Amino acid sequence: MQFLIRSARIVDPQSSFNGLVCDIIVENGIIRQIGTNLDAEEGKTRIIEEANVHVSPGWVDLRVSAKDPGYEHKEDLTSVCQAAAAGGFTDIAVLPNTKPVVDSKDTLGYLRRMAEGQPVAVHPIAAVTRQTEGEDLTEMIDLHHAGAVAFSDGEHPLQNPDLLLKTLQYLQPFDGLLMNRPEEAMLTRFGQMHEGIQSTLLGLKGLPALAEELMIERDLRLLEYVYLQKDLPATTVLHFSTLSSARSVELIRQAKQQGLPVSCDVAAHQLVFDDSALAGFDTNLKVNPPFRSRADVDALWQGLADGTIDAIVSDHNPHDEECKNLEFDVADFGITGLETVFAVVVSHNQGLSLEQLVDKLAIRPRQILRLPLVSIAEGQAASLTLFDPGRNWTFEGTLSKSKNTPFLGQTFTGWVAGILHQGQYYTHT
């Protein structure tokens, strides 16, 4: 099928058309022509025409909890892909914390089969340890050949330094990627929110920023040890998921200045809220890592601006009513966020340009996962996100099976029109 995108402003730092307003013809999933006043073949072309439409390479989410298999009452691959497409994502990387855990070729094969025909591409992240229990390593080479794009225990940070060290060594021969959410679990037991004045006032046990920062320091030292006196790889070897503190950003900044093969991301909701938002005990705001101080939020924005933080993720973690509609201290951590990432960031933007946002949403995530890069150029595969950064809209309903989002009913600036991916146009409007 043929598509004609009319008068779209191209946002792609890699493209010679960056910043220009052009027509784009896509045929059989390939960008055939870019120009002005292009003619469409009548009867065979779908014309996509939106006011102030912008187009960029398709966005990639590095951290999505799909819950499938095992927890389909919270989310399944169909609903998560629909939510991702509505949020402008053409690709999602899904965590291994399912039932069964993605620690074998059988479970990984199930994900790949179920992902066929979905509007977005699903990239499985396989477990580092069996059952994500932090004890015995999985067969990572086999999982890599079966299609795993990276390795992580997902919601369970790696606590054993010897296992992390051996994993870094094990991944070297095939240029594998380790993703880890930094948290020293012994410092966060029974914690509910950021440790500080607010947690004291609310009478809740705190999750200290120190727990995150100590693990980053440890992991960086181990990474340095593995690559001591060795040629450093050109690709990222260790990726830190969902940074939340100013000190964490500074540690990554220093590591990059030293040339270590490290990258990191931040969840979109961490760029909006600080710990004062929990005064009302809204369990939809209970996340891990927790919302920290306003100074930490400002440091996260600075880290995005100067390139220390490589990507923005949704950290989409759906839960049903039985897990969230509870007293704050027994409710599960996590919010849904696939549909609101772009709108949240644009609405609260602290000086990032559109090119920088596209870099954090589309370009750097692909580089980190070793996915083929896509660019808006003739002859390239059409993996495109269409959006209007200036349009106001209200988030009135979600395509996710779960409703644990603090953003329902809110009005945002920054609207996603749809995605053009795998030869099809998907729009929720």
Residues 23 and 160 placed together within one structural domain of the fold? no
Orientation angle between helical segments 161-171 and 209-226, nearest 10 degrees:
40
Residue-wise pLDDT for 131-158, tens only, equals: 999 999 999 999 999 999 999 999 999 9
Residue 398 domain flag:
no
8 Å CB contact between 381 and 26: no
CATH number of 222's domain: 3.20.20.140
What is the rounded average pLDDT of the residues 227-253? 92
Residue 374 domain flag:
no
On the CB side of 153, how many CA atoms lie within 13 Å of its CA?
A: 22
Residue 406 domain flag:
no
pLDDT at residue 228, rounded to an integer: 78
Q: How far is CA 326 from the centre of its chain?
A: 27
- What is the per-residue DSSP string for 203-230? T--EE-HHHHHHHHHHHHHHHHHHTTTS
- Cβ neighbour number for residue 348 with a 10 Å cutoff: 16
Residue 404 domain flag:
no
State the average pLDDT for the chain.
96
- DSSP reduced 3-state for 201: helix
Q: Which residues pair with 10 in a beta bridge?
A: 55
Q: Which residues pair with 384 in a beta bridge?
A: 57, 420
Q: What CA–CA distances, in Å, run from 89 to 58, 179, 387, 401?
A: 6, 20, 11, 18
Residues 301 and 169 placed together within one structural domain of the fold? yes
pLDDT at residue 111, rounded to an integer: 96
pLDDT at residue 429, rounded to an integer: 67
What is the rounded average pLDDT of the residues 319-334? 96
Residues 63 and 50 placed together within one structural domain of the fold? no
pTM of the model: 0.97
Any residues with CB less than 8 A from the CB of 228 and at least 6 apart, and which?
Answer: none
Residue-wise pLDDT for 168-226, tens only, equals: 999 999 999 999 999 999 999 999 999 999 999 999 999 999 999 999 999 999 999 99
First to last CA, the chain: 20
Q: What CA–CA distances, in Å, run from 346 to 186, 296, 368, 373, 427?
A: 36, 19, 23, 24, 20
H-assigned helices in 35-185: 77-86, 105-114, 140-145, 161-171
Residues 364 and 419 placed together within one structural domain of the fold? no
pLDDT at residue 198, rounded to an integer: 97
Measure the CA–CA gap between 429 and 246, rounded to whole angstroms. 39
Q: Is 315 a catalytic residue?
A: yes
CATH number of 46's domain: 2.30.40.10
Residues 163 and 251 placed together within one structural domain of the fold? yes
- Find, among 42, 65, 91, the residue nearest to 402 by Cα: 65
Residues 43 and 92 placed together within one structural domain of the fold? no
What is the rounded average pLDDT of the residues 161-168? 97
Residues 167 and 116 placed together within one structural domain of the fold? yes
Residue 325 domain flag:
yes
Residues 45 and 117 placed together within one structural domain of the fold? no
- Cβ neighbour number for residue 386 with a 10 Å cutoff: 23
- Find, among 126, 127, 227, 247, the residue nearest to 182 by Cα: 247
Phi, psi of 9 (to 5 degrees): -80, 120
| Number of independent structural domains in the chain | 2
Residues 40 and 120 placed together within one structural domain of the fold? no
pLDDT at residue 234, rounded to an integer: 83
Residue 400 domain flag:
no
Query: Which tokens hold the place of 154?
Result: 């997902």
Candidate list 296, 315, 359, 388, residue with the active-site label: 315
Full residue range of the structural domain in which residue 192 is found? 59-369
The answer to whether the peptide bond before residue 289 is cis (omega within 30 degrees of 0) is yes
pLDDT at residue 390, rounded to an integer: 97
Measure the CA–CA gap between 172 and 225, rounded to whole angstroms. 13
Residues 226 and 352 placed together within one structural domain of the fold? yes
Residues 91 and 128 placed together within one structural domain of the fold? yes
pLDDT at residue 41, rounded to an integer: 79
Residue-wise pLDDT for 79-110, tens only, equals: 999 999 999 999 999 999 999 999 999 999 99
- Find, among 119, 128, 114, 133, the residue nearest to 68 by Cα: 114
Q: What is the largest CA-CA distance in the chain?
A: 67
Helix (H) or strand (E) holding 333: none
pLDDT at residue 276, rounded to an integer: 97
231 — pLDDT class (breaks 50, 70, 90): confident
pLDDT higher than threshold 80 for residue 160:
yes
Residue-wise pLDDT for 372-400, tens only, equals: 999 999 999 999 999 999 999 999 999 99
Measure the CA–CA gap between 137 and 405, rounded to whole angstroms. 34
420 — pLDDT class (breaks 50, 70, 90): very high
Residue-wise pLDDT for 265-312, tens only, equals: 999 999 999 999 999 999 999 999 999 999 999 999 999 999 999 999
pLDDT higher than threshold 80 for residue 245:
yes
User: How many residues appear in the chain?
Assistant: 429
8 Å CB contact between 38 and 26: no
Helix (H) or strand (E) holding 273: none
Measure the CA–CA gap between 101 and 103, rounded to whole angstroms. 6
What is the rounded average pLDDT of the residues 315-323? 97
pLDDT higher than threshold 90 for residue 428:
no
pLDDT at residue 230, rounded to an integer: 75
8 Å CB contact between 291 and 320: no
Residues 11 and 66 placed together within one structural domain of the fold? no
Is residue 292 packed enough to be buried (19+ CB in 10 Å), middle (13-18) or exposed (0-12)? buried
Phi, psi of 198 (to 5 degrees): -65, -45
Is residue 48 packed enough to be buried (19+ CB in 10 Å), middle (13-18) or exposed (0-12)? buried
Residue 407 domain flag:
no
